[in-house]
Amino acid sequence: MIECSVCHSKIASTNSKTISRAYDRHRSHVSSKTRFLNVLLVGGDCILVGFQPILVYMSKVDGGFKFSPISVNFLTEVTKVIFAIIMLLFQAQHKKVGEKSLLSISTLVQAARSNVLLAVPALLYAINNYLKFVMQLYFNPATVKMLSNLKVLVIAILLKMIMKRRFSIIQWEALALLLIGISINQLQSLPEGTTSFGLPIATDAYLYTLIFVTVPSLASVFNEYALKSQFETSIYHQNLFLYGYGAMFNFLAILGTAIFKGPSSLDILQGHSKATVLLICNNAAQGILSSFFFKYADTILKKYSSTIATIFTGIASAILFGHTLTMNFVLGISVVIISMHQFFSVLSKVKDEQQSSSLEMVDSQNSQRCKEKQKKE
């Protein structure tokens, strides 16, 4: 039951599970500005995600990496921390009269306490960012992107379990189509003739694929929940702590590597090239954009937008590196596009829209009753 703050009348709640009241208010007012933001997010994500596997591939020398992937991840997190600080300084200079500075000690301490949960996705992202490089040793760039789309199904299940998100039957069918499209493209994609850790390459590759899909899915869902549960906190405050935790975890990984491989591992700039600099900038921009996805849109839209990038990655890798666009790839992409259209179609959202309209009608009726009761008093 929900109690009105004006007349204290009670009405039945149509949703017993909410992330935060601030986010609920934001979600209930979908404006043209919000839709435009979603379009910009998807467009930017397609470009950045599409380039990421290509830049990783360009960074390889003789099939391997001359630099430490952990150093790239650390420098990426540091870049994102610097960006968050710059944005906080910019907002502090343009704050309104009477508003508390975003960089005051009390504000930072309060924001840090409220966003401790961000340490969880930060740790998971640190693991996932390393796995991105490992996956490039087994698959070509286009296949890596297609495999990453498996995260959509895992994320949908986690959203249902953790955030109580509801999906229609049509949307679940769309996710099933997505898996079919990925499977079509994945056929005969494993390289042959090499082994690692004493295991056949196929076993190794599928093991990394399982971890590669599960870990970032958990990270994305926890990140969305953490950002939206503290919706009133500035996104740049949240990014500062998220990326700060990420930099810390990656720095600990560098220290751990130095213990096993020697002090030379502490040289985080060793083996870097122009391609790795572009990779760091791309990864940083991609991470920053993702935070806006998770806070103002949702994880499913983020992952579906990444599927669009698969087309760009496949065509670009074919032009730049001579990779063949097989019929499996073309058919797989076609099925993925159909899945995306079905998932976001109006028919798949009819039930949710009816529930939203019903809630708005109840709110309107309750507000009217409150006003009438006040007049009588």
The reported pLDDT for the residue numbered 3 is 45
| Within-domain flag for 334 | no
Smallest CA-to-CA distance from 297 within 42, 124, 52 is with 42
Q: Which whole number is the average pLDDT over 334-340?
A: 86
> Residue 271: what residue type?
G
What pLDDT score was predicted for residue 125? 87
17/161 Cα distance (integer angstroms)? 12
Classify residue 347: in a domain, yes or no.
no
Rg of the chain's alpha carbons, rounded to an integer?
A: 23
Asked if residue 351 has pLDDT above 80, the reply is no
- Alpha-carbon distance 87 to 80, whole Å? 11
Q: Which residues contact 158 (CB under 8 A, 6 or more apart)?
A: 217, 218, 221
- Residues 334-342 have a mean pLDDT of 86
Residue 232 is predicted with a pLDDT of 86
**Does the global pTM surpass 0.95?**
no
Distance separating alpha carbons of residues 46 and 290, to the nearest angstrom: 12
What Å distances lie between residue 26 and 30, 31, 120, 234, 246, CA to CA? 7, 10, 25, 14, 28
For residue 272, what are the domain limits? 34-168+201-297
Count up the domains in the chain and report the number. Answer: 1
Q: Where residue 175 falls among pLDDT bands split at 50, 70, 90?
A: confident
Residue 352 is assigned to a structural domain of this protein: no
Dihedrals phi, psi of 199, to nearest 5 degrees? -105, 150
Mean pLDDT of 179-196: 60
Distance between CA atoms of residues 215 and 129, nearest Å? 10
Is residue 377 in a domain? Answer: no
What's the chain's average pLDDT?
Answer: 77
Sign of the four-CA dihedral 94, 243, 277, 58: negative
Question: What is the rounded CA–CA span in Å between residue 37 and residue 19?
Answer: 21
Evaluate whether residue 111 is within a structural domain. yes
Beta strands in the chain (DSSP E): 2-3, 10-11, 195-196, 199-200
The gap from C-alpha 61 to its chain's centroid, in whole angstroms, comes to: 29
With beta carbons less than 8 A apart as the criterion, state whether 102 and 271 touch: no
- Tens-place pLDDT, residues 53-99: 788 888 877 777 788 888 888 999 999 999 999 999 988 887 776 67
pLDDT 10s digits, 227-252: 998 888 889 999 999 999 999 999 99
Residue 147 has pLDDT above 60, yes or no: yes
Q: What is the pLDDT of residues 262-294, one digit of tens each?
A: 887 788 888 888 889 999 999 999 999 999 989
Q: Is the pLDDT of residue 342 over 70?
A: yes
Q: Which of 15-24, 52-61, 217-226, 243-252 has the lowest mean pLDDT?
A: 15-24
| Residue 53 within any structural domain of the chain | yes
Predicted pLDDT at 131? 77
pLDDT at 180: 84
Tell whether 290 is covered by a domain: yes
Residue 66 lies in a domain: yes
| Cβ count near 105 (within 10 Å) | 8
